[in-house]
Each structure stands twice: as structure tokens, then as C-alpha cells.
Amino acid sequence: MNRPGPQGLRGETITLAHGAGGKAMRDLIETVFVKGFGSPQLAQLEDQARLDLTQFTAQGDRLALTTDSYVVDPLFFPGGDIGKLAVTGTINDLAVGGAHPLYLTCGMVIEEGLPVDTLRAVVASMKATADTAGVAIVTGDTKVVHKGAADKLFINTAGVGLIPNGIDIRVDRARPGDKILINGFLGDHGAAIVDARGEMSLENPIETDCQPLNGLVETMLAVCPDIHCMRDATRGGLATVLNEFAEASAAMISMDEEALPIRPEVRGMCELLGLDPLYLANEGKLVAVVPADATDTLLAAMRSHPAGRHSAVIGQVESGQPGRVVLQTAFGGKRIVDMLVGEQLPRIC
């Protein structure tokens, strides 16, 4: 039965008509996306967002642009969902380059049969996350595919931000003597996805760490504009990020196993499933390479921010074998930490 939905949209599930360019698609865009995201630019219903250049030139001297696609399974998991993930991931890719995120785009590939209420919940989550981070979703696109041609919902977001003058965060700036900082517990997102898939029956479910990091990064840059390297440790986890730093900077990086912040629940889950927490995905963790003399000031600033309360110094850059990442183990030995080969957990983001 095709009856009017609760807010003017006909039907309770997405049909191919919602992607066909006619009235059903217009109703979907207006009642779910325009109303849900609530941005003035999107409400104009143009084929593009029109943005005032004066705000760009006033806030920075370089434009930062990024894009990412999200295919997480399941769509909803402890502490988050695909919508929160899509907004957070793109904001964080901008922020770790020192940019102030301003605007996002949103492209959705929706499988025929997805409940409209599910789509509304995802949009509401995206809106709430964007508002928290101070960014606006200003344009987008919708495609509907036949049942079985996708897995419920895929989202692409692109982001635009501005890098202030004097900020030069790059993957190749790690230097011997620099310290390695992280803003909290490792592996929470990967563990939350495992739990949400029913692969574990945890007494205390682990929640994703999914959160925007632009506020934390601004706090860090306020006390130390000369952060050398910074990335968010998503797919491939901490180990992959550090290998990228070491290779690009032709430096050696050493980690202290006892300094790594890992929840007991995550460590226990990894032991049971044969996973390594160093490679587990995170969605609210950044890794920063900073001058040694700024470490204490930065650590105090990070711990003063809600996204950095559990920040820690986990290692340093050394002048040993270029491109090598080494872990000082709790037993007093050393082991090489290579780049991730393959995928520990598919469909995590």
C-alpha cells in the first residue's frame, strides 16, 4: 500500500521512484534531506552550493578538500551509525591537516526497500554531528539502486576547509627527537563493529570512539602551531599511520607498549579473536608528531579538551633505520611493526 508518510513522503520504504527524478524524488529530497539537514544553501535546491568567497579569504590562505565513502556494516552500532561516521570521518580528514572544516557535501546510494525511518535517523545523526562540529551540509545527490545491488545504504561525503597561514602539517616532517602523541584509547571503533555484528557477546558493550576532532586540533594548534605530522588513525589503525610517517620522513619511530592506551575489553577481545589492537580502526583518534620541547604544553592542552582527556605520549622519532617502526614490548624486547597487509575487519567505515 502506497499511502502518505508521516511528513508528506509517500510510502514507508524507499522505492526506485525515489531515485527517478520525478515527484517522489522531489518529496524525498525536500522532506528528508532539506528538512533534515536544515542548511540555507541546500534549501535553494540548486544543482550546486553557492558559497561566499569572502569568508574563505578571511579565514585562511589555502583551501583543503577531501572526500570519503562509507559502507559500514551494520548501519547502527554502539555509540554511532553510518551518518555520524560519514560526517566525522570527513571533518577529521580536514582537521588533521590543520584546516578549519566549513562545508560538507553528501551523496547517498540507497538500496530499494530501505525503511524511510532508517534514512531519517541517519540524516538526523548527520545533522547533529555537523552542528556539533560547526559545519554545514550544503549540497548532495541521491541514487536508488535495485534491491540486492547495494547493502542498504552507502554514503559519500566531501569536505571543504581552510588552512590558516603558518600551519604546515605534513606526513614528511617527522624529525629525530620528536614525540608521538595520541588523544586516547585505541581500537574502540573496530571493537564496537565486531560487537555489533554479533561476533562477541560482551557483558559491557564497547562503544565506538567516533567523534569530530576539529575542536581538539584547534586547541592543539593554539598552543603549538608547529605540529609536524598529524593523521587520524582510521583503517589500518595506529600502526599504519606511524609507518606512513616513518616512510615519508625517512625516519625511525619507536613506540612504548606500556604507554599505549588500550581498554582491557578491547585487549581481551583482540586476544580471543587473534586481532592486533595496533591495526584496529579508530574514528576519533589522531596521532601527532610534535617537537619535544612542546610535548608537555600540548599534552596539557589536549587533556583539557573532551576529545583528549586520555591523551598520552606513546613514543618518539629516532635516527635509526629509515622507514622502520619498532615496538618496545612490555617484556623488554623489541618487535618490528609493519604496515597492515590485507584487512583485519572489512566494512568498518
Model pLDDT for residues 264-293, shown as the tens digit of each residue = 999 999 998 889 999 999 999 999 999 999
286, 248, 245, 241: which is closest to 95 by C-alpha?
286
Q: Give yes or no for residue 101 having a pLDDT over 50.
A: yes
The SS3 call for residue 182 is: strand
CA dist 226 and 115 (Å) reads 48
What is the average per-residue pLDDT within 254-261?
Answer: 97
Which one-letter amino acid corresponds to residue 331? F
Helix, strand, coil percentages for the chain (3-state, nearest 5) = 35, 25, 40
Q: Give yes or no for residue 245 having a pLDDT over 90.
A: yes
Environment class of 294 (CB within 10 Å of its CB; exposed 0-12, middle 13-18, buried 19+): buried
What is the average per-residue pLDDT within 154-171?
Answer: 97
CATH of domain 16-163: 3.30.1330.10
pLDDT for residue 1: 30
Residues 6+ apart with CB under 8 A from 52: none
pLDDT for residue 5: 41
CATH of domain 179-336: 3.90.650.10
CA dist 312 and 292 (Å) reads 14
What is the average per-residue pLDDT within 168-178?
Answer: 98
CA dist 187 and 205 (Å) reads 13
User: Of the given ranges (58-62, 97-101, 261-265, 272-276), which has the lowest mean pLDDT?
Assistant: 58-62
Q: What is the CA radius of gyration of the chain?
A: 21
pLDDT for residue 320: 87
Read out DSSP for 192-248?
HHHHHTTS---SSPPPP-----HHHHHHHHHH-TT--EEEE--TTHHHHHHHHHHHH
User: What's the grid cell of residue 181?
Assistant: 602523541
User: Of the given ranges (50-59, 87-96, 133-142), which has the lowest mean pLDDT?
Assistant: 50-59
- For the chain, domain boundaries: 16-163, 179-336
Environment class of 175 (CB within 10 Å of its CB; exposed 0-12, middle 13-18, buried 19+): middle
288, 268, 286: which is closest to 277 by C-alpha?
268
Q: What is the chain's mean pLDDT, rounded?
A: 93
Q: Region of 274 please: left (phi>0), alpha (psi -120 to 50) or beta.
A: left
